[in-house]
Amino acid sequence: MADKPIIFVLNGPNLNLLGTREPEIYGTDTLDDIAGHLDDRARAAGASIDFRQSNHEGHLVDWLQEAQAVGARAVLLNAAGYTHTSVAILDAIKAINVPVFEVHLSDPHKREAFRHLSYVSMGAKAVFAGHGAKSYELALDAALQF
């Protein structure tokens, strides 16, 4: 395990387009903006961030398993569209002993009906949604206290 606690921040499909993708829903912060804010906040608390994004479901599963292998303190997971479809991600969350905090920029329950089901929530310790980029900061604060 690293000298200081490490928190994985895993981001799913299309989040690489933040800042330009439907800003009326997701805001204008880019993923790099969010990573920078989280890194500053984590360093101030004596922790470090391992921030990643992939459009591929298997990468998210691999990274969840890696979080346990390296002794991560927690995972912040914005599985994006996979939130509503991926039993494989749910199984990975349930297979590891690292607490996972679900993150969403928008509030899925205020959107289309198909977004109301979250497989991630079935294994997550808590959900932070509907606060834009601040959702990540709220989840990080919770992870640091866990």
As annotated, the active-site residues are: 26, 104
- Number of Cβ atoms within 10 Å of the Cβ of 44: 9
- CB-CB contact of 101 with 125 (8 Å): yes
57, amino acid identity: E
Best CA proximity match to 18, nearest among 136, 138, 142, 141: 136
d(CA 10, CA 120): 12
